[in-house]
Amino acid sequence: MNRKIFTAIAATLVIVLLAAIIDRLFLSSGDSKQAEQAVRKPDAAPVAPVTTPDAAAEKARPQVVAEIEGTVERLDADGTWKPIVAGTTLSADDRVRTKSGARAIIQVDKSRVVLDENTNVSVSGIRAAVSEVRLKVGRVSADVSAGAGRPLNIRREGADLVARTAKGRFSMMATKRGDTFVASSAGKVDVTANNKTVTVAKGEQTSVLKGKAPTAPQKIPASLFLKLHKSYAKSRSKRYLVRGKADPFARITVNGIPVQVSSTGEFSQIVSLREGFNKVKVKSKTVSGRTKDGTVNVAVDTSGPDVKGTVEWGK
């Protein structure tokens, strides 16, 4: 009997001992996991790319056509010119042109660039350091206010030439023969071409002949020169050659058509006329914006003179 009791007690002790061991092992395992979780570093959160203000600004921002007079067109992706209206947004490298008698104002960041008639430009966008417009041919004037925040470049397309100001008003005129003229009406503008820079002050202008460096700035002339070869003429043809001489800094149009002016100021243009009395309008405009008009009155009579007489045969 005592032996049975002893055996039962021993079995009970073994069971209790095994249970204690198992429980101890379980607690140790749990503590280890908790400790491991306690010391484990949390997974690093994905790091967002850092975008500095300058880097964000490096992406060209759109420019807006603020005002339009007459016909203004943008070159479409298919190579055709399409009319645009005020409020049109321009992307980088968009090309815009004004037709005869037209005018447009492009808002470039806080600066304004005015396109004269018969002008062709492309926009380069607004970047961190500078805003830029490229002039192919025609005349533009720029107004960079004190709060613009960044300088404005007007670059001559196809040439190593750029005019730049951080504050002021200036104009640039580009001719088809490749010459460029720059004038300042407020503030200073730096003109750089062919490794030479000149600073054009208020009331001064400089000329940059094709492939040459800019000339020393000189005062803008007080008067504008325009002389026509004839103010009145008779013609037996409906095609008439208009000739004259103007300031070499000027841009000449004959009946609204841009005419090339030589380095000495001479110009000529054949115009189409109608039978009878015609007025041919000649307009001169300098890079500074001064204008002078002239008129050639042409009487066209293609009928020829009346011929009176008697024809006798056989003599």
What are the tens digits of pLDDT across the range 220-233? Answer: 988 888 999 988 99
* Closest C-alpha to 86, from 102, 106, 100: 106
Of residues 129 and 205, the one with the higher pLDDT is: 205
- What pLDDT score was predicted for residue 148? 60
Distance CA 211, CA 70 (A): 34
Q: Comparing 55-64, 174-183, 187-196, 264-273, which segment has the lowest mean pLDDT?
A: 55-64
pLDDT at 266 over 70: yes
Alpha carbon 38 to chain centroid, angstroms: 61
- In the chain, where does the domain assigned CATH 2.60.120.1440 lie? 54-219
Q: Are 149 and 177 in contact (CB under 8 A)?
A: no
Mean pLDDT computed over 200-218: 94
The chain-wide mean pLDDT, for the chain, equals 82
- What pLDDT score was predicted for residue 76? 93
Angstrom distances, CA of residue 22 to CA of 8, 19, 110, 261:
21, 5, 79, 107
- What pLDDT score was predicted for residue 157? 93
Confidence of residue 56 (pLDDT cuts 50, 70, 90): very low
pLDDT at 7 over 60: yes
Q: What's the CATH number of domain 226-300, 2.130.10.10, 3.40.50.720, 2.60.40.10, 1.10.1660.10?
A: 2.60.40.10
Q: Are 124 and 132 in contact (CB under 8 A)?
A: yes
Confidence of residue 133 (pLDDT cuts 50, 70, 90): very high
Number of other CB atoms surrounding residue 300 within 10 Å: 19
pLDDT at 109 over 60: yes
pLDDT at 260 over 60: yes
* Closest C-alpha to 254, from 242, 236, 237, 239: 242
Hey, what CATH class is 54-219 in? mainly beta
- What pLDDT score was predicted for residue 68? 95
- What pLDDT score was predicted for residue 227? 93
pLDDT at 178 over 70: yes
Distance CA 165, CA 183 (A): 12
Of residues 42 and 106, the one with the higher pLDDT is: 106
Mean pLDDT computed over 86-91: 91
- What pLDDT score was predicted for residue 51? 45
Angstrom distances, CA of residue 247 to CA of 57, 200, 302, 303:
42, 19, 35, 38
Of residues 187 and 44, the one with the higher pLDDT is: 187
- The proportion of the chain whose per-residue pLDDT surpasses 70, expressed as a percent, equals 74
Angstrom distances, CA of residue 276 to CA of 240, 242, 259, 266:
13, 17, 25, 28
Long-range contacts of the stretch 25-32 (C-beta < 8 A, 24+): none
- What pLDDT score was predicted for residue 38? 45
- What pLDDT score was predicted for residue 57? 44
For the chain, report the end-to-end CA distance as a whole number of angstroms: 184
pLDDT at 98 over 60: yes
- In the chain, where does the domain assigned CATH 2.60.40.10 lie? 226-300
This prediction's pTM = 0.72
Residues in the chain: 315
pLDDT at 152 over 70: yes
Answer left, alpha or beta for residue 306, where phi above 0 means left and psi between -120 and 50 means alpha: beta
pLDDT at 103 over 70: yes
pLDDT at 269 over 90: yes
Distance CA 189, CA 198 (A): 8
Of residues 279 and 42, the one with the higher pLDDT is: 279
